[in-house]
Structure 1
Amino acid sequence: MTSNSRYKQIGSLVALALVFLIVSYFARQYSDTLAVIVRSGGVLGMLGFVLLTALFVIFVIPLDIAFLIPIGSVVFGPVPTALMSITGWTLGAAVAFSIARNLGRPMVERLIGLDRVLVVEKRIPKRNLFWSVVALRMTVSVDILSYALGLASSMPWSNYVLATVIGVTPFGFFFAYTGTLPFVLRIVSIVIAVAIAAFILLRYGIQREP
């Protein structure tokens, strides 16, 4: 991964963090109204949350963290929101991986384009792939990786799903609980998270072993 690519990813992380803070602020301000609207749907509201999260993953739209989680944390509480997010991310990742593995490049190109997928595909490590996926899942939510691995790796679907669950679980609980913190602590938590993710990207990136 080039320095420019890493800095672009860090810029994207900062932008998402800012949107998260803004949405979480207004979600807390209008929590009663949001609760009435969302809870009126009952179980369907929770199912919609999961399916929308999965769709965001499949179509590589990074709005789940920025919009869904802050609202979900206020309406449903942090634990249900974390569990729904983890379920949605895993479902979306599994579908994206399956699309790439079974339908190939033409379908991936139609859905999201190949340019970004090819960049990641060239950097897929040959060794310790399982734990590399776990580590990437802790810092990267947008699911280009699912398509790249489905196309270019021999990683079994079940292993990929397990690595995804392990990787996104701390991620899900962190953001779900962060959305409920006082605003100043929310800012501090997000700054720390972005700093850690930036360090990982700058220090390690996605290295391809010879």
Structure 2
Amino acid sequence: MNKKLKTFILVFVLAVTFYVIYSTGLINTLKDLNKFRQLIESAGAWGYIIYILVFIITAVFSLPASVVTIGGGIIFGPILGAILALIGSTIGAVAAFLVARYLARDFIVEKFGDNPIFKKIEAGVEKNGRDFLILTRLVPIFPYNIQNYAYGITNINLITYTVISFITMAPGAFVYAYMAGEIAKNGVTTSLFIKLLVAGIILFGVSQIPKIFAKKKGIDLESLKD
């Protein structure tokens, strides 16, 4: 198929899909926790699938996902909500990665190939491989959704990308979804404060890992922020 025609079809399909998402009010729903909760709960058993599909949509179209993560804990409970949030965010990240690698690679390279973030990620992967992926997943140096597409046009392996994304997203997904579920289920209690303290310590510990990791690998974090 002609390159320009392929690009046109892809852009057209994505534009139509985004229009459908916008016209159905999903974007506004993702900004309102109560609306999102009603959407999932009204779907019954299909709510699990819809929840994960929403995660995929937020990743592919770079929509806000905080309500989705928090909503998982409130709607499905602390444990199940955290698990579903992690599964959904991982599948969503992989979906965006695959779009960049197999469907929209030429378009993305043409439109965003000179973007500083894309260049830094490409150079980082070329020099440090999966170590760079681990680092940027743990440290919010670059916008998360942009990373999904940027890594799609690098030579990093899909399985490596999926496994590392799953592992590095786990702490955040579990802490936010679990805490939201706890508050919804039991309210603000002494037990909650203790759990929040433990969660804070865990997140602080996780935040220190990349700094140690970067120093060991000789990666200058400050230069990536410029």
TM-score (norm: length of structure 2): 0.59
Residue 91 (structure 2) aligns with: 91
Q: Deviations over 1:9-63 (max 9, x none)?
A: xxxxxxxxxxxxxxxxx96xx7xx98776434222112111111111111222x2
- Pair 1:116–1:173, CA change in 2 (3 A): farther
Q: For residues 121-200 of structure 1, what are the structure 2 equivalents within 5 Å?
A: 121=121, 124-140=124-140, 142-151=144-153, 153-179=154-180, 180-181=182-183, 182=188, 185=193, 193=203
Paired residues of 2:69 and 2:176 also in contact (CA < 8 A): yes
AA aligned opposite 2:43: G
Tell me if 1:39 matches 2:41: yes
Structure possessing the higher relative contact order (Cα contacts under 8 Å, 6 or more residues apart): 1
CA distance in 2, matches of 1:130, 1:44: 36
Residue 56 (structure 1) aligns with: 58
- Pair 1:207–1:123, CA change in 2 (3 A): farther
Paired residues of 2:138 and 2:210 also in contact (CA < 8 A): no
Displacement, 1:69? 2.1
CA distance in 2, matches of 1:197, 1:145: 18
Tell me if 1:82 matches 2:98: no
Displacement, 1:73? 1.1
Residue 20 (structure 1) aligns with: none
Residue 221 (structure 2) aligns with: 205
Tell me how large the CA RMSD over aligned residues is.
4.0
Displacement, 1:129? 2.5
AA aligned opposite 1:133: L
Displacement, 1:89? 1.6
Displacement, 1:193? 4.7
Report how many residues are paired: 175
5+ residue gaps, structure 2: 1-31
Give the 3-state SS of the residue equivalent to 2:156 in structure 1: coil
AA aligned opposite 2:89: W
Larger Rg: 2
AA aligned opposite 2:48: M
Q: Percent identity between the aligned chains?
A: 20
Displacement, 1:191? 10
